[in-house]
Amino acid sequence: MRINPEWIEDVKTGVGNYLSDSGGMHFERVLRFNRATQWLVEYLTVKGVAFKVINLGAGVKRITTDTSVCPKCNGTGKC
């Protein structure tokens, strides 16, 4: 399977909006497709964006630029 090009453009737009916004906006995606997760991690790394990958279980991951998530539950909301 391949990654949907429309999704890639949507993510690039979202990251661009995050980088151009000086306010408190964060970029976040919840993914279950491993190739898309790998692509997003690589893209954010190349762009120099600080991010955090949170495993939610069952192969689902949340990738967020909010690196100050709860240390107790790692942002899963289960605390």
DSSP calls for 17-76: HHHH--SS---EEEE--HHHHHHHHHHHHHHT---EEEEEETTEEEEES-TT--TTTTTS
The pLDDT value recorded for residue 66 is 85
Q: Give the residue from 46, 48, 39, 45 showing the smallest Cα distance to 8.
A: 39
The pLDDT value recorded for residue 75 is 67
The pLDDT value recorded for residue 36 is 96
The pLDDT value recorded for residue 25 is 84
For the chain, give every domain's residue range: 26-71
CB-CB contact of 50 with 65 (8 Å): yes
Per-residue pLDDT of the chain (79 residues; tens, 9 = 90+): 899 999 999 999 999 989 887 666 889 999 999 999 999 999 999 999 999 999 999 999 999 998 886 767 766 667 6
